[in-house]
Amino acid sequence: MKIAINAPDEHQFSVMQRILDGRLAIESPDEFAEILEIYPDDPFLHRRYADLLNRLGRAREAAQSYQRTVDLFIDHGMNLQAIVAKILQWRLTKPNHQQGRTFHGQLQATGGRHTPLQRFWAGLDYPELVALMQRLVRKRFAPGRRIVQADQPADALFFVVDGTVAEMPSPECQSEARRTGVEVEPTLLGTNDIFGEVFPLDQPTENANEILAVSQVELVKIPKTALTAICAVHQRVQTLLEALYKADPSAHCERSWQTVRRATRCRLPARVDIASPPNRADTRSWYHDGMAVDISIGGICVQLNTTDDEALPDLKGRLAKLNLEFPDALLSNLSGKIVWQGRKAGGTASSAALIGIRFDTLNIADRDRIAEYIKNNLE
């Protein structure tokens, strides 16, 4: 059995995804803030922005941005991601007891409960949550990296914060399945999935499967020894985790942990024609076409049809009129402002010019059509 360790096809054209996986490096906070004007409610982009501020030593701003990230993640039902952002915020500004209680209250009141792991985090009481947050360790892995090796001691429980990993059944498991006429394939795991054969806690255990990073992956793990100590004090934590765990996963190499069921996303880029009238800095009009690679109600990012050596004027701040051509509809004379300009990271051969446009007020029909397009093609 083979698996290609490549990034999944979802968001393959996406400017947001290029930022999230590092292919489009933005090291200027001001430039990043312009991207956020187009996607003001994307929690993963806000998390990257907070990380950038943190790397630059702007602790106060980073802490504020992490708080915004926490709120957005909770609004999106992403409890684990909110917890990780909160941990990063609290490393910069030590919380008091009331702030801890307020965050716990947010999780319980408005945290997501659609998946098993969401219910686990939202269902913890305050001492249980604090005990786990204190022992979580963040880890990042590049595509193709082995995270867990089969038949080795299982010394940690892992939670997927962001990215995709492949769970590969051990060769012995594959052979046994084939003898029974079952073809076993890798399982792709993503956000809010769990892996690690740590149960029973009071006995040595081995990992049944190999785990490989498919994309850039962020995980948090808790060592088995730490989890055992926590469960000795907070026995309900063990009960809640065991409810997510299957006692006998051996049949046909089934996973030990419940898996988040997710649909494969597909993106169908839309053609865009752009016209920018003259301004004070440039008396010439500017016209170009390209493909929409990210669309939201707030704006659009466009990959321009340019040659690698084609020089573009400074477009930031210019007004724009655009026609947006969907497969089954045409939106004409949309207006906006170009708030960001850049190029896709990479060699000259793969260089691509990108611009971000923030929409002015959309009429109701255009807004509904864009919302319908997003719903049909991004979920």
pLDDT for 374 equals 65
Question: Confidence band (pLDDT; 50, 70, 90) for 292?
Answer: confident
| 106 has pLDDT over 50 | yes
The rounded distance, in Å, linking the Cα atoms of 48 and 69 is 9
Contact 147, 219 (CB under 8 A): yes
Average of per-residue pLDDT values in the chain = 81
Contact 299, 15 (CB under 8 A): no
pTM given for the model: 0.71
**What six digits make up the tokens of 45?**
């982009």
The rounded distance, in Å, linking the Cα atoms of 286 and 65 is 36
Tell me the average pLDDT across 305-325: 83
Domain boundaries of the chain, sorted by first residue = 41-113+123-133, 137-253, 270-378
Give the H or E element holding residue 13.
none
| Angle in degrees, CA 137, 16, 85, rounded to 5 | 25
Question: Confidence band (pLDDT; 50, 70, 90) for 17?
Answer: low
Give 204-261 pLDDT, tens digit per residue. Answer: 999 888 898 888 899 999 999 999 999 999 999 999 998 888 654 444 455 667 665 4
Spelled out in words, what is the top-level CATH class assigned to the domain 270-378? mainly beta
List Cβ<8 Å contacts ≥24 apart for 236-240: 236/125, 236/128, 237/124, 237/128, 237/131, 237/132, 238/201, 240/120, 240/123, 240/124
Q: Following DSSP, what letter does each residue of 158-184 receive, concatenated? A: EEEEES-EEEEE-HHHHHHHHHTT---
Distances in whole angstroms, Cα of residue 247 to Cα of each of 32, 244, 367: 46, 10, 49
Give 345-357 pLDDT, tens digit per residue. Answer: 544 444 678 888 8
**What six digits make up the tokens of 317?**
């701040």
For tokens 């909110």, name the residue: 82
The rounded distance, in Å, linking the Cα atoms of 254 and 241 is 18
| Angle in degrees, CA 75, 270, 264, rounded to 5 | 50
For the packed helices 43-55 and 29-38, what is the interaxial angle rounded to 10 degrees?
170
Nearest to 313 by CA among 287, 295, 290: 287
pLDDT for 267 equals 45
137-253 belongs to CATH 2.60.120.10 = yes
Most confident of 84-93, 146-155, 271-280: 84-93
What are phi and psi for residue 336, nearest 5 degrees?
-170, -170
pLDDT for 1 equals 38
Number of alpha carbons in the 13 Å side-chain half-sphere of residue 352:
20
